Structures are given as structure tokens and as C-alpha cells.
Structure 1
Amino acid sequence: MNIYRKYFKKYRVMFLTAVSCVFFEAICDLLQPAIMSRIIDNGIKNSRVDSVLKLGLLMLIITLCGAGFAATRNILASKVSQRFGADLRYDVFSKIMKFSEESVDKIESGSLITRMTNDTSQIMQFVNGMMRIFFKAPLTCMGSIILAVILSPFMSIVLFCAIAIIAILIVISMKMSYSRFAKVQTAIDRLNTTVQEYLLGIRLVKAFGRFSDEEEKFSAVNTDLFQKSVSSQLVVSYFSPLMSLTISTGIALIIYLGSILFGKGYIEVGKVAAFINYMMQILTSLIMITNIFNTFIRTKASTQRVVEVLESQEDFSGFDNEEVISESSLEFKNVTFAYPDGSGLPALKNLSFRVNEGETLAIIGPTGSGKSTVAWLCLRFYDVPEGSIYINDKDIRELATNYIRNNIALAPQKSMLFTGTVFDNIVWGMQEENSEKMLNAAKQAQADEFVQKMSNGYDSLLGQNGVNLSGGQKQRLSIARALAKDSPIMILDDCTSALDAVTEAKVRRALRDTEAKKTIIMITQRIGTAMTADKILVMDNGINAGFGSHKELLSTCKTYREIYDSQIGGDL
């Protein structure tokens, strides 16, 4: 439980103060039955009003002190637990931001959301309860047992029998609960993932009229969560009445034995009353302890899930070199790569190519040939087990990821825009916001024209992922964002698929005419786009099927000629 030690050390003073308040509150609660016993035996029995008033006033003062301690520990518990939760959520989010691609692939986004919300809330409630009742219940229980034994060792036999039975019930309850609560959290993951998938694909669902299928899918995971939640709660439902029955039976036996002992003059009425009060305090404490164990079991499952995130593999690190270089070359040398936890088949096989500073390289090939994998490896989302990748003749494994990614701008295959203004989305990747650079990038990406027609121009608000834009508009803003970053290497991963041929040609021409000569990698399916590049890499099933100019490949590469014939056709 390192995460608990870490945060408790941070709030050590408030935590210890709250625990001290719990200790003194428990003492106040334990003193009251003893004082009541003296009121009955010394005051009421002997008709001494002064003794009753004196002891009654003492009991009232102790009660007020206990209330003060309770209020203080409640305030401190709320402050500490809320800060604990806020810090934990921040640390989890910070960790997710540093996730390696393997960690991203391992834990689904729906599960990450559950861990950041449901699981952290469960941990926060546990911390709050620990400072409020988790310490008080054992203290009150142990204190009541000790004082009850002092009052009557004989009647304590019944007490110990009841406690033994309850201890057995608690152990059985814990063993039955843990696996059930862990399954509940997994079911919540599946529910969140299902809802998230529907929301992301809502337009596709509407287009294909698959509402009934989505409803059935949600109904299945919702029913599964319902059944697992009921199963986990049934354990509590079965065992809580058994514990109450055990304690109530014990109290009935205490009253019976007390009446016999009182009749024989072995015990006074006040002590019997005090013993019953201690028995009730033990009952309350044991019920609390049972709830504590149930909460602990559920929190243990949540803690393990959060710890799994915090201990996940982070992105690669290296030397602290974050500067942007003025020129760049890119080279793959004998690179073989298969995705971790994937099919095991290599996505790239012994791939080699080089693009020099200022050159444009087009990568073309059939679907699934490994084109996008090249982009992910350039950005060092994964490390290659075989071969090497060089930026400016430096092995990227010797470079910090900040350095690599500051020198590469990416316009991805799937345009991703964020909630905010058009301006915010274009300058999102810039080190420092620059309105002139932003406007120039928008013009180069052919986005300025439609943005100016929007209600508030560059201050117009975009919905989540740009839902109020067309596919082509989103792609142009994505390209503008990559251009605004002004990195020496630029990767366009099939990001012009929604653009018409004229607009795409304008974008390519604008890229060629930029003052700073960039090294550009265009991943494309269009032969017309590839033809304009200085070099073309033809990929087929992860291998280099051809590398050269358009004319060279037409005569030397069968795969390239097939692509050319299928899209343009004709004999040369």
C-alpha cells in the first residue's frame, strides 16, 4: 500500500490529529456506561439526589467533549480524504499522460475512466472512513470487552462466545466478498467501454440503423453488472443479520444471567445495565468492523487497479535534449518490428530506406502493408527489437522522446480535434502561440477560407472531436496544426483522404513553397499524391518492395505498377 504511505506522509499532521480525536472520543464513549452504573448503584439505589446530579453533570460534560472530538475528526477526515482523492486522480492522470503505447494497448480507455473516477472515489471513501470510524470501532470494541470483563468475568463467557462466532462469520464473509467485488469493478469497465464505443460511433450506428444491436449489447453488460452487484451485496445481506442475531442472543443471555446473579446478590443492577450497554457498544462496533472489512475488500480491488495504472510502463526517456534542430534526415536500417501482445507476425520486415533533409518521401502500398507503423516508430511510440532508426544520423534510442517529438509534426490518418476554438486547435502543438504563424499555417492547409466563413472565425467553438465540421474541414485543420508546429520533419499519414484532388494539390504546393525546407513523409493510398514526391517507398506486407522515383518504380516495381494501373491505368 505504498500509495497510502505516500499521501499520509503528506498529510501526517492532520491525520494524526484526527486519529487522536478518535482515541479521545472512544474513551468518552467508554466512560459513559461506567458513570451510569455509579448513578444507578450509588445515587438512585440510595436515593442520593446530589450524587445523581453530580455524576449526571460529569456524564454530560464527557458527552459534550466526545461530540467536540467527533466534529473535529469529521472535519479533518473530510479535508484529508478530499485532498487525497484530488492528488491521486492527478497522479493517475499524469501517469496516463506518460503511458507507453504498450500500456495504452493493455488497459482500455473505458477501464482507465473507471479507475480515475469510480476506483479513486472508493479509495477516497475508504480514507475518510478510516479516519472517522475505522479506528474508533476496534478501540471501542476492545475497550468495551475489557471493561465488561472487569464488571463481571462470569458473564463475559457469553460475550467471548458471541465474539468468536462473529469472528468466524467475518472471515467467511471476507473470503466470499473479495472475488465478487473485483468482478463488479470489471463489469463497470465493460459498461463504460460499451457506452464509450457507442458515443464515438453514434453516427455510424444511425447510418446503419443498428440501434437494437447496441441496445442488446448495453443490456447484456448492464445485466451483468446488475447480477454481479447483487451477488456482492448478498454476502453482506446474509451475514449482517446473522451477526445481529448472535449479539442479540448474547444480550438476552446476559439479561437472564444478570437476573440470576442479582437475585443471589452477586452483582448490582447498575453493573448489569452497564454490562448490557457495553454489549450494545460491542454490537455496534462489530457491525462497523464488518462494514470496514467489506469496504476494505472493495477498496483492495480498487487499489490494485489504480496501482496497476501507476506501475504501468512509461514512455521512453533519454537525455534531456528538447531543442528543435534546423535540419533533419530520417533513416530506417534493417528494421523488423511486431506489435507487443499482437498476432506475433511482424508488421515490418528488415525495412531500410533513407530520406535526406528537405526531401519529400511518399510511402504507398496495399492496406495492412505497415505504412502507419513507420509513422509510429518514427515518433518512438515503440522501440524496435531489430535494426535501428536514425534522425539526423542519431539513433533515436539515444534521444529523449521530447527531442524526437519536438522535431516531428504529425497529421494523423484519423483527424483528432479538441473541444475549444479553431485558434486553440491550430496552435495546440506550438511551443509558443503565434497568431501570424497560425494564420499562415491555416492558409497553407487551405483552411482559412472556410474558417473565415464561420460565425466567429478563428474564435468559433468546435464540439468534441470537431463534430460540427465535415471530414475534409477536420483534415485541413489537422494539417494546419502540424504546419503551425513548424518542425523540420513532417509526417502526413494519409491525412488528405477526404480532400478533393484540387485542394490536395494546393496543400502539396503550399508545402513545397514554404520558406523553411522540411523533410516530409507522405503516407498515402493515392498514386497521384505519391508521384509528386522526390522519392517513393513501396511497401508490401511489411517489406520494402521498391524505392526510387516514379519513373524508376514503374519499370522496376511490380507492386507499384499494379497500384498505378488500378488507379490511373493506360500503357506507357
Structure 2
Amino acid sequence: MALLINKMKNHLGAVVGSILMTIIIVATQLWQPKLLQQVLNAVMADDKDKIVKVGITLLVVAGVGLIAGVINTILAAKVAQEVSADVREEGFKKIQTFSFSNIEKFSTGNIVVRLTNDITQIQTLVMLTLQTLLRIPILFVGSFILAMMTLPQLWWVIIVLVVLVFVTVMAVFGMMGKHFGMIQTYLDRVNGIAKENLAGMRVVKSFVQEANETKRFSKVSEKLTKHTISVGNLFAVMIPTFTVISSLAIVVAIYFSADLATKDLNVIGAVASFMNYLMQIMMSIIIGGMMTMMASRAMVSLARIKEILDTEPDITFNPEATNMITKGDVSFKNVTFQYEGDDRPSLKHISFDVTHGQSIGIVGATGAGKSTLAQLIARLYDPTEGSIEIDQIDLKAANKENLRESVALVLQKAMLFSGTIADNIRHGKRDASEQEMEAASSIAQAKEFIDRQVDRYGSLVEERGANFSGGQKQRLSISRGVIGYPKILILDDSTSALDAKSEKLVKEALNKELKGTTTFIIAQKISSVVQADKILVLDEGELVATGTHQELVASSEVYREIYETQKGKEVL
């Protein structure tokens, strides 16, 4: 709750106003039965003036309660919306600081549920707190005391009612608690499966897996439905039980007050007031229990959000670091890296040095550790052992902004964001002019299809770049990578979807326009790296050979096997 209290402090005026309105609402609710008692006594005494006077007071009190209720709802809704927006923004901002390993720990689907469904639960909690949870204890205590004062002879009826309702509430809500936690868990899974299925729809349809995917989704959905129905069934049993208890309490109160009424007619009005207080006591316990149960579900969501906010990024930067990358020399010193949960390292004792401006090819079989090595250069992960330096600066001591500007990573799987072409390219340089975008897209050979678009750089990009082909998306990604003219450019098999002619033109443009840039080219095809100044050969996470194409063909069995398998001689 400390998180919510801190957030609510930012909206103190509305919170205080809502609490004041709550106090007014409770006061009017407690006052009305007493006024009703006075009206009944006046009717029996045939005192018309008092009937009118008390009747008007009763209407005014009811009106004040109504107005206070409206204001309370408005203020509570305002605070709930603003607090949930604050938490959502803080959560999203925190996620932006996460490393890849942090994201992998939670999973994308899990994070989405936390920022949507869990935030909604927190919003409900704030609304309930200001509207109901603060009112219930005051109403319960006030009704209990006034009921005792109204008909002290029937004190035991009140105690029996409270005990029966309280025991029932605790029993039912105790059974509900376990279901709420499972509901959130299965919501995560349903969201994850749906997201995964939609992202891989082409694969699903290509392999005719619709039935299996439906079965997989239905299995989790049925478990979610089971727990939701269980909660509904418990509510269905609870409401009639409370109705029976309240009806019995009223019957008992009327029965035992009959003798009192024969001696004093004013007891009739007192009985009416007493029954109102009984109903308020019962309803405060019932509503309080229901709200507490809903609040407990929200507390689960609050804990899930707090887990995100309390998670420390695995990779942190020193905000005061002044070390600046100026050239692009890269040095790996006995680097070993192992993913969390893996039983063996992905990279083992890697050491090499690269001079700025060089073109470095990285080849190896699938799973050799090529992409992992690239991500270490960009400091998306930190090495488990050893160190990585750029311009003799340990990456752990580098300035974050300078590092991100100096190292550009273009992935094989091109990721485009919904918006415009310009928006996507400017991810590489936020203040890029149209001339700079044209220069970058020319290097990436993207200009020719961009110019065919009606709005050119203002053309819309659909979610995940669905309105562009694989090759077009890769060229836009390369444009985004080169627009800032980085000191180090990493192309992680990022020309795999390009035809041979386009790939050749991209390489020629890179060599011409980014002469001073250190370029790492990760490729499956030997033809993509034969012209590199140096080629690194990885095999099962180890650096087994280093040299030029000619040197490696002559000296490295692993490289020669890859080369001959691809019929490299014919390609050249």
C-alpha cells in the first residue's frame, strides 16, 4: 500500500475532499433512521407540525447525502484514474530501463497483463477505498452504537446478527481468495498464448495448426473459466444466505418488541429505526467483505506491479561517467557469457582486438554464439567473465548516451513500430532532417521504394511493419542503424532477406559512406564476409580461428567446411 499512498499524496486535495464527502454520507445515513423514528412518533401523536418539520429535515438530509455521494464518486474516480495513470507510466518507464535478461525473466505477455489488467485492478482498489472501504467501518460502528441506544433490550439480536454474518463472510471469502490469485495467473497465460498465436499466424496457417492452437488456448481458457465460475458460485450462495439471516433478525426483533409496544407506543418508531440500523450493520459487513475480497485481488495486482518497480536492471550505467567513445576500437578480453538458466556458456574465453574503421565478419554454425557476441558489444548483456572495451573504455564505465549513439545494432528480424517511415528511421537519430533520412535510406537501398510511396517518409507503417516485405523492413532497419553515422555498426544477418544485387549495393554504400565506422557483419553466408578485413570463426561458443578469407580457407578446417558446403568458390 505504500506505493498507492505515495501516489495519492500527489492528489491530496481530491483525496481529502473525497474523505470529507464520505464522512457526510455516513452521517446522513446514520441520521435518517432517527428522523424516521421521530416521524412515526409524530404520526402516532397526530402532531402534524412536527411531521412536516421532521419530514422536511429528512428530505434535506437525504438530499445532502445524495449530493455528497455524487461529489465523492467524482473525486474518487478522478483520483483513481490519475493514480493508475501515474503507476502505469512509472511501470512503463521502469521497463524501458530493463535489460534483455530482465524482460526474459517476466516475459512479454506477463508484462502486458501487468500494465493493463493489473493496473485496472489497482484503479478499482483506489476507487473502492475512497468510495466504500473508508465508509464501511464508520457506518458499522455508528449503526452498532445507535442500534444499542435505540432498543437496548434487544442487544443480543445485534450480537447474533453480527456473528452470523461475519462468520459467513469469512467462510465464503476465505474460499474465494485462492481463486483470485489463479485467475490472474491464467489471465497471463491466455494473453501470452493469444499474443504468440497472432504473431505467428502465418506459421500456424502454413502448417495447418489451427486445431492444435485452439486446443492449447481452450485448455488454459477452461481453467480460467473454472476459477471464475467458482467465484460466481460462491457469490450466488452468499447473497441468499445473507437474505435469510437478515430476515430472521428482523422477525426476531419484531417478535420480541411486540410486548414492549403494548406498554409504550413509541417503541413502534424505535423498532423501525432499530431494523434500519440492523440492515445497515448487516450491509456494512456484507459490502465490507465483498470490497475487502475485491481489494485483496487488487492487492495481488499491486504486488505484481511493485515487483516490476522494485526490480533492479541487470545492466546499469554510471550517470556521471564522462568517458566518450571517439573512434571505435573494440577489444574482447577473455570474455565468457552464460545465459541465466542455461547449463553451459554461450561464449567461452573470447579474446580479440579490432581497430576502428575495420570490417569484421563473424561466421559459424547455428548456435555458435554469433548474435550473443554482437549483443555484448552493444552492452545489451554484460559478460559473465572478462571485459569488453571500446576505445580502451570498459563498457561498464561508459557513458550510456554516448554508447547508444556510438553503437548501432541492426537485427536479422527487422522490428518496425506503428507510425510513419520517418518515425522509424528517426529512432536512430531523433532530430534527423529529411535530407539525412534520404542519405541513410540511400545507403540502405531503401530510397527507391520509399520514393514510390505517396507520402514518402510520411507514409504509414502498420503494426510490426505488416505493410512492407521482409526485404523492405530490413532496409528500413539498416536506414535506422546508419542514420546517426555510428562509430560501430553491427549487422546481425540483417541482409538475409535481400537479393544478391541489393545486398551488394548495401555493402558498397557502407564501405563508401561509413569509411571510419567499425563494422561487424554476422552472416550465415560466406559470400557476405569474404571482403571483410578480418573474419572471426566461432564454433560452439569458442573463437577457433581469426584471419582473412584466404588465410582461413588455408588454415581453418571449420571455416573451410562452411565455405565448401556453401560452394563458396563458385559464388566467388
With normalisation by structure 2, the TM-score equals 0.96
Matches within 5 A, 1:202-351: 202-265=201-264, 268-314=267-313, 315-321=315-321, 325-340=325-340, 342-351=341-350
* Distance of 2:231 and 2:400 partners within structure 1: 45
* Distance of 1:65 and 1:123 partners within structure 2: 30
- Residue pair 2:491, 2:522 contacting (<8 A) in 1 also: yes
Residue type at the aligned position of 1:5 = I
* Distance of 1:569 and 1:521 partners within structure 2: 20
Residue type at the aligned position of 1:195 = A
Q: CA RMSD in A?
A: 1.9
* Distance of 1:371 and 1:162 partners within structure 2: 72
Decide which moves more: 234-243 or 60-69.
234-243
SS in 2 for 1:225: helix
* Distance of 2:283 and 2:318 partners within structure 1: 57
Post-superposition Cα deviations, 1:132-164, rounded to whole Å, max 9, x if no partner, equal: 122222211211110001112221211111111
- Residue pair 1:323, 1:406 contacting (<8 A) in 2 also: no
Residue type at the aligned position of 2:51 = V
Post-superposition Cα deviations, 1:535-567, rounded to whole Å, max 9, x if no partner, equal: 010000101110111122122211111111111
The verdict on how the C-alpha distance between 1:323 and 1:80 changes in structure 2, with shifts beyond 3 A counting, is farther
Decide which moves more: 328-337 or 60-69.
60-69
Partner of 2:401: 402
Residue type at the aligned position of 1:19 = I
- Residue pair 2:415, 2:477 contacting (<8 A) in 1 also: yes
Matches within 5 A, 1:371-386: 371-386=370-385
Q: Figure out how many residues of one structure are paired with residues of the other and give that number.
A: 570
Partner of 2:565: 566
Residue type at the aligned position of 1:44 = V
Q: Verify: 1:66 aligned to 2:65, yes or no.
A: yes
- Residue pair 1:431, 1:485 contacting (<8 A) in 2 also: no
Decide which moves more: 384-393 or 282-291.
282-291
Q: Verify: 1:507 aligned to 2:506, yes or no.
A: yes
Q: Verify: 1:22 aligned to 2:22, yes or no.
A: yes
* Distance of 1:23 and 1:495 partners within structure 2: 64
Partner of 1:544: 543
- Residue pair 2:349, 2:542 contacting (<8 A) in 1 also: yes
SS in 1 for 2:368: coil
The verdict on how the C-alpha distance between 1:405 and 1:194 changes in structure 2, with shifts beyond 3 A counting, is same
Partner of 1:88: 87
Partner of 2:480: 481
Partner of 1:526: 525
* Distance of 1:93 and 1:522 partners within structure 2: 33
Partner of 2:33: 33
* Distance of 1:271 and 1:93 partners within structure 2: 57
Partner of 2:7: 7
Decide which moves more: 308-317 or 20-29.
308-317
SS in 1 for 2:152: coil
Post-superposition Cα deviations, 1:354-395, rounded to whole Å, max 9, x if no partner, equal: 111111111100000000001111122222221001011111
- Residue pair 1:319, 1:398 contacting (<8 A) in 2 also: no
* Distance of 1:156 and 1:513 partners within structure 2: 94
* Distance of 1:408 and 1:565 partners within structure 2: 33
- Long gaps (5+) in structure 2: none
* Distance of 1:433 and 1:231 partners within structure 2: 57
Residue type at the aligned position of 1:86 = A
- Long gaps (5+) in structure 1: none
* Distance of 1:480 and 1:569 partners within structure 2: 29
- Residue pair 2:323, 2:397 contacting (<8 A) in 1 also: no
* Distance of 1:332 and 1:502 partners within structure 2: 34
C-alpha displacement of 1:435:
1.6
Partner of 1:134: 133
* Distance of 2:397 and 2:169 partners within structure 1: 55
Post-superposition Cα deviations, 1:94-125, rounded to whole Å, max 9, x if no partner, equal: 11111122220111211211111111111111
* Distance of 1:421 and 1:500 partners within structure 2: 25
* Distance of 1:181 and 1:512 partners within structure 2: 59
* Distance of 2:475 and 2:67 partners within structure 1: 64
* Distance of 2:78 and 2:287 partners within structure 1: 22
- Residue pair 2:323, 2:393 contacting (<8 A) in 1 also: no
The verdict on how the C-alpha distance between 1:204 and 1:232 changes in structure 2, with shifts beyond 3 A counting, is same
* Distance of 1:369 and 1:515 partners within structure 2: 28
C-alpha displacement of 1:570:
5.8
Residue type at the aligned position of 1:75 = I
Decide which moves more: 538-547 or 455-464.
455-464
C-alpha displacement of 1:170:
2.4
* Distance of 2:372 and 2:402 partners within structure 1: 20
- Residue pair 2:537, 2:545 contacting (<8 A) in 1 also: yes
- Which portions of structure 1, spanning 4 or more consecutive aligned residues, are displaced by more than 4 angstroms? 264-267, 321-324, 569-572
- Residue pair 2:361, 2:523 contacting (<8 A) in 1 also: yes
Partner of 2:471: 472
The verdict on how the C-alpha distance between 1:309 and 1:330 changes in structure 2, with shifts beyond 3 A counting, is same
- Residue pair 2:332, 2:388 contacting (<8 A) in 1 also: yes
- Residue pair 1:322, 1:406 contacting (<8 A) in 2 also: no
Matches within 5 A, 1:353-392: 353-392=352-391
C-alpha displacement of 1:287:
2.1
C-alpha displacement of 1:266:
9.6
* Distance of 2:52 and 2:458 partners within structure 1: 75
Residue type at the aligned position of 1:370 = G
Partner of 1:110: 109
Partner of 1:191: 190
